[in-house]
């Protein structure tokens, strides 16, 4: 892309999340929102009337008119839409999950490579300022021993096209696997189903990694309270991230004194809690700005197609384990 040239973008799918993409693109400097696409005439008309850009019910009218798109459609359509667009030289941000199968995920990765275009996968929590601060701390060389992450909200019960693993857990699998940066060697999982569940409404998985570290990951769309937290046990201390409030805390504990002194038992009181300074920001705005930078050639995509495909593979093992089929990694 020529320096200073506006990047022409479109949003494919303007449901609830797609409308957020439209809002953010409309506010980004150096970006021109030139079209929205949706097969639902109500969603399409509502969005067009609000932002004033052209709306289309098909993809063909935007060909040759856009440089990049956000694909915010149901996961089962990602492979078809993304491949079509990338085969026409259009850079794609594809919302998570990347696809509904490993085969379809590979199809998208191949299309990006074949056409030399950017493929960024929308694992939005990677762009959460508190998570980025966590990465900065751990990049100093601290060893991770264990992680525990919970993502729970009854509001997610409205999602019907994917199960709770694809809907919620993939966010945290992406972060856990990227931070661990080691192959998953073992997966044990279980789930709770309600009568109307198609794939479990409360799923917990225990992941073992090469090198001995472990992670416990839980996702629920039947828990009434909204919980989104990550903890990391590391050489640096016990780190806690609140995804919602974008806060990061470090808990440190010095060596215990133990034993007893002349006046009785001795205790260690050197536990400390530090709140890391995190500048709040909308994660989606950070993500879309990064996508535009990648399209301009300034940075590589933070969440690659291969990373998203690796998450799909582990998610499948969790799904099998939750169904009682067995989920040990190969």
- What does the pLDDT look like over 292-320, one tens digit per residue? 999 999 999 999 999 999 999 999 999 99
Q: What is residue 321's predicted lDDT score, i.e. its pLDDT?
A: 87
For the domain made up of 126-281+311-322, give the CATH fold.
Dihydrodipicolinate Reductase; domain 2 (3.30.360)
**The pLDDT value given to residue 328:** 59
Q: What is the pLDDT of residue 227?
A: 94
Is 80 exceeded by the pLDDT of residue 15?
A: yes
For the domain spanning 7-124+285-301, the CATH number is 3.40.50.720
User: In terms of Cα–Cα distance, which of 111, 85, 24 is closest to 291?
Assistant: 24
Boundaries of every domain in the chain: 7-124+285-301, 126-281+311-322
| Arithmetic mean of pLDDT, 129-137 | 97
Q: In this model, does residue 268 exceed pLDDT 60?
A: no
CA-CA distance, 156 to 176, in Å (whole number)?
21
Alpha helices (H) in 89-227, listed in sequence order = 102-115, 129-138, 164, 170-180
pLDDT, averaged across the chain: 91
Question: Which pLDDT score is estimated for 324?
Answer: 72
Residues 31-72 pLDDT 10s: 999 999 999 999 999 999 999 999 999 999 999 999 999 999
What is the pLDDT, as a whole number, of residue 43?
94
Instruction: Give the whole-angstrom CA distance, residue 284 versus residue 294.
Output: 15
Is the pTM value of this prediction over 0.85? yes
Strands 237-242 and 247-252: antiparallel
Q: What pLDDT shows up at residue 153?
A: 86
Confidence of residue 267 (pLDDT cuts 50, 70, 90): low
């Amino acid at each position: 892309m020529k320096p200073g040239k506006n990047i022409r973008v479109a949003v494919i799918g303007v449901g609830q999340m797609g409308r957020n993409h439209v809002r953010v693109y409309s506010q980004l400097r150096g970006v021109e929102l030139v079209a929205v696409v949706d097969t639902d005439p109500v969603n399409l008309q509502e969005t067009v009337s609000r932002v004033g850009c052209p709306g289309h019910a098909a993809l063909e009218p935007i060909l040759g008119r856009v440089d990049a798109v956000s694909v915010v459609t149901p996961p089962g359509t990602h492979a078809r839409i993304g491949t079509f667009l990338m085969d026409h030289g259009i850079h794609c941000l594809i919302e998570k999950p990347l696809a509904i199968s490993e085969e379809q995920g590979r199809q998208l990765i191949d299309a990006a490579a074949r056409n030399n275009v950017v493929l960024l996968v929308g694992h939005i929590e990677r762009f959460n300022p508190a998570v980025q601060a966590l990465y900065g701390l751990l990049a100093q060389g601290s060893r991770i021993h264990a992680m525990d992450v919970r993502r729970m909200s009854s509001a997610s019960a409205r999602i019907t096209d994917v199960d709770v693993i694809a809907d919620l857990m993939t966010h945290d699998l992406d972060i856990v696997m990227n931070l661990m940066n080691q192959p998953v060697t073992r997966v044990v999982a279980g789930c709770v189903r309600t009568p109307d569940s198609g794939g479990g409404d409360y799923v917990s998985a225990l992941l073992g990694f090469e090198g001995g570290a472990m992670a416990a990951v839980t996702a629920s769309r039947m828990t009434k309270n909204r919980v989104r937290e990550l903890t990391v046990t590391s050489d640096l201390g016990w780190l806690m991230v609140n995804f919602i409030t974008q806060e990061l805390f470090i808990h440190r504990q010095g060596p215990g004194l133990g034993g007893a002194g002349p006046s009785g038992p001795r205790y260690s009181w050197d536990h400390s809690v530090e709140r890391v300074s995190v500048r709040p920001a909308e994660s989606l705005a950070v993500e879309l700005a990064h996508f535009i930078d990648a399209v301009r050639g300034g940075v590589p995509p933070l969440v690659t197609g291969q990373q998203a495909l690796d998450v799909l593979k582990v998610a499948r093992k969790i799904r099998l384990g939750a169904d009682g089929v067995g989920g040990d990694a190969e």
